[in-house]
Structures are given as C-alpha cells and as structure tokens.
Structure 1
C-alpha cells in the first residue's frame, strides 16, 4: 500500500499565515547559522580584512542552508510518521497546519538553490575549492534527516552538526575574507562547535521518549536522560573554560571573557531539564540552550572586535 504524503485532514486545515511559515523555519535553531559567520568575519577583521558583500553572501547562504535543513527534518519526520497533531514544539507545520509536504520540500530545495548561487559569487571572489566544501555541507544538511540512514537518528548528530555548523562555517567565513586559516580561527571555533552540538542535544533530550519508540539511537537515548543533561552541562562548562584558558595562556584577548555573561542562560537551560520528563515542560530549557549559543557568540564577536581596536 502506498502512502499519500500529500493527504491532509480537516484538523490540519488551519491558519497558514506568517506565524506558520516562520515556525517552519524553526527560528531558535537559526542561531547555528549566523553565529559562526559573524565570528569568522570578526576574526578576519582582526587581521585587517573585511568585505561586506562576502560577509552578507556567506551569512545568507548559511541561514538558508540551516533553514533548509529544518525543512528537510519537517518533511521526513512527516513521511516517516514521527510527527502528529500532538507533537510538541514548533515543528509539525505539515500535521498541524495543513502545509503540503511537497511545498515544504520545494521550499527547502529552493533555499539550497539560492545558497548555491550565493556560493558561486563567494567562489568567484575567493577560491573555487569553497564550492567543494559548500556542496559537502549541503549534502550533510540533507542527510541529517534525509536519506535511508539519517544522521540525526544516530549518536553522531551532535558531532556532525557541531563540526559543520561550527568549525567549518567559521573557517570558511574567515578564509573567504583572508585567503588563509590561522591557529586562532581554529581554536576559537571549538566552543561554538560544542554549543551548536548542545542545541541538537537539547532537542534530543526533549524528544527522548518519542525518538526511542521510533527506533532512533541518539546520544540522549543511549546514555539516558539524566546523563544527557549532565553531558549538556559539561558542554557548557567546557565552552566557558576553553575561552578562559585561551585568555590565560595569552592566545586570545581577555576581552573574550565577556562570554561569561551568557553563563546564566546556560544555567537556566540545565536546570530547566533537570527533573522534567514531559516534552512541553522542557521547551523553555531548549530555548535557553539556543539563546546561550546566540549570546555567547554575540559576546565573543564583541570581544574580538573590541580587542582589534584597543
């Protein structure tokens, strides 16, 4: 029997206004798209290089790829029957709001197309090797929830997302401005990579029970909820300690210690998960995790820029 992925029910025929489409982008995850670009560009500015058009092209392309990844997740979760009208979170536009699956898939592919065009411009202004890396990034974005063996269903989701949306995006953003990669650009990408992975981990902690029922093997499932929350706290702690260590060893400026101001959000995220078992109860903690990445990245960028001119 074939499954008709275009079918909708009366319950699904709801408002399809701006809010629905905005939620389809899963805005709380878009921080993983713009934070690495701003940090990589700020580091380039520190080296005396800054091309505003390259920055904007890289920023928009990164955001489009992240948004497309979210839409692939929306589409394939629906196709595999993982989403329903009672699913918790801002996902589920297909099952709750009647957005056609084909529409979601088409928009995701369109975002990839626009990102590709921006990538051509970036390559023309820097190096065509960027095209190879960019294509790999888009392939990983698709395979994260698409294909026969989705990365998000394995214990490697946090590592892969952190690597590609953290380290690689920072280095690409730095390279297209400067034409090189430095030790500082590499070491400063580490905490951001970890915090991007933390966003994915928080999502998996919230969805642990449902994912387990559907046969996923995420880190949160393998080590259990309590240990997953401890792992999240460890990731936050390591990120702050890493920046402190770079400052103490004079590898980076003490201005980068501004990131400590984001610690309250990290604390809120961890305490928000502790003792919670219902997905709806963990939504504030998920939001705080994404906000930690945003504020940490914003403060890190400020620290880099201030240290450049002082």
Structure 2
C-alpha cells in the first residue's frame, strides 16, 4: 500500500502550476474586458487541477500495466514501482475525472455556456486515451497535440469565455503561449525517456524526432511561448513584466540542449511549470496595473 507521500509524488503536484497557469491567464484576459468573475475562476481552476492529477494517475496506471515504466529514469511511478496496486491507481484516476466533471458541470451551469459540457467530455476522454485503451494516442506521437489543445487553448479560452462571454486578443495569445509551455514540459519529459520509450514501442513525438531534434523542438516551444506576449505590448506596455522569468527560461533551454545525463532533465519539468506560472502571473499583474494606472 502506497504511503500518503507516495500518492502525492504520484500525482506530480510539482507540475500543478501548469494547470493553474491557463486559468490565471484566462481570468486576466477577462479582467482586461472588465468581466472577471472570481467564482467562475475558482471552478475553472478546480477543473484544471482535477484533470491534471487525473491524467497523471491515468498515465501512471496505463504505463505501469504495459511495462513502460519497468526501466524508468524519472521520479516514482506508483504502478511501475509496485508502491500501489494498479486497481488503486486506476480508481484514483477516475475519481479525479469524476471530480473534474462535477466542478465542470457547476461551471457550465453558472456561466450558461452549455456547449462547454461537450468540450469537458472530450477532455476527459482525451485524458484517459493518452496512454489508456487499446490504441493510446500518446504512443503514436500525438500527446503533444492533446496537451496544446486542452491544457493551452481549451483551458485558457474556456476560462475567459465563462467569465466574459467572449474572447479577446489577450486570451488567444496567452492560450497559445501557455499551450507551448505545456508542450515544452511534455517534450522535456519525453526526451528524458527516449531510450526506454523506444525500447517498448512508445513512439512519442520525441522518439519520432530523435534526440537532437527533440531538444531543439523544446527550445523552440519555450522561445515562441516567451516571445508571443510581445504582441500585447503595444496596447499594454506593462506586459514586459513577464520577461522577468527569462533567466529561468534560458536556464531550462540550456540544460535541455547540453545535458548528457538524462537525469539532469528532471528539474527542467518543474522549471517549465514555474516559467508558465510566472509568465501568466506577471501578465495578470500587467493587466491589473494597466487598468488602474494606465
């Protein structure tokens, strides 16, 4: 039976900034339209957090029972390590998906954006299908598409539209930026796992690209994600605040490009989470300052 600490590690709580970042960005974009709604934001955050943790448990279960984690470089996996029974991990995943569904329904009812219920169902199906089922799309190199769409576009734009009933340029630009940061985190994770994934037939995008190109792709995702907020500077110069996190981004890119030992990539996952969180928090600060100080 896994200890509480092992369940926390299995949930990858260090990556939860990736779930919070698009909600912060989407709420700030709504605030730029004088339409931010705190309760809606809290519900959106809960949906994102439950989905994030649910995906982590689902991947832990599916990769564990497939044997993908038998020779793993990264942190603890509950199923692969034998710390928890597969059924327990699967139950935890579906419990998180259930909580995401409940909070999602509350958000849909409150915002009256009924079509988002369909998007929510698709998000849960995509979360499970990433590594679960007979033909997991994560094993075909399509996981990056899911991450960009659901943890970037859907999470950010959905947060904005449930509060403002419309979208603006801020929402679109920050949605793409957060999506790219999420993809960068996944790419760093998959670069670390290339040898093991290739051996078990898990054809992630990193495996398909090969090690050198995958590392360059990570750098490009991080670079474009950092550059995009510049498009907002003409109507809000305070957006330049987001570049306070540039040193962290440079450090992450340098590590991925140069690391010979794949274990050196493990801290990059946390760095990507805090880059995303830092950019969105500073963007939100820029929106508030611009609104009240001009």
TM-score > 0.5, shorter chain as reference: yes
- Which residue does the alignment assign to 1:142? 128
| Partners of 1:226 and 1:290 in 2: CA distance | 23
- Superposed structure 1 runs of 4+ greater than 6 Å apart: none
Cα deviation 1:244-300 (Å, max 9, x = unaligned):
2332xx2x4121111211111111112222343433232123332222222222222
- 1:219–1:49 CA distance, 2 compared to 1 (3 A): same
| Partners of 2:227 and 2:40 in 1: CA distance | 32
- Which residue does the alignment assign to 1:131? 117
- Alignment match of 2:13 (pick from 18, 27, 49): 27
- Which residue does the alignment assign to 1:262? 245
1:58 aligns with 2:58: no
- Alignment match of 1:167 (pick from 137, 146, 153): 153
Counting matched residue pairs gives 292
Q: Report the TM-score when normalising by structure 1.
A: 0.88
Instruction: Determine which structure has the larger helix proportion and give its number.
Output: 2
1:246 aligns with 2:232: yes
- Which residue does the alignment assign to 1:3? none
- Alignment match of 2:257 (pick from 274, 277, 291): 274
> Structure 2: which 5+ runs fail to align?
none
Alpha-carbon distance, 1:97 to partner: 5.2
- Which residue does the alignment assign to 1:108? 93
- Which residue does the alignment assign to 1:93? 78
- Which residue does the alignment assign to 1:118? 103
Cα deviation 1:91-110 (Å, max 9, x = unaligned):
41223352111111111111
| Partners of 1:97 and 1:305 in 2: CA distance | 48
Structure 1 contact 31–294 (Cα < 8 Å) conserved: yes
Q: Between Structure 1 and Structure 2, whose CA radius of gyration is higher?
A: 1
RMSD of equivalent CA atoms: 1.7
- Which residue does the alignment assign to 1:81? 67
Alpha-carbon distance, 1:69 to partner: 0.5
| Greater shift in the superposed pair: 47-56 or 277-286 | 277-286
- 1:91–1:309 CA distance, 2 compared to 1 (3 A): farther
Q: Report the TM-score when normalising by structure 2.
A: 0.93
- Which residue does the alignment assign to 1:153? 139
Cα deviation 1:3-53 (Å, max 9, x = unaligned):
xxxxxxxxxx6xx33321111111232222111011111111222223222
- Alignment match of 2:3 (pick from 17, 37, 43): 17
- Which residue does the alignment assign to 1:291? 274
1:189 aligns with 2:171: no
| Greater shift in the superposed pair: 168-177 or 28-37 | 28-37
- 1:120–1:285 CA distance, 2 compared to 1 (3 A): closer
Structure 1 contact 78–94 (Cα < 8 Å) conserved: yes
Structure 1 contact 74–91 (Cα < 8 Å) conserved: no
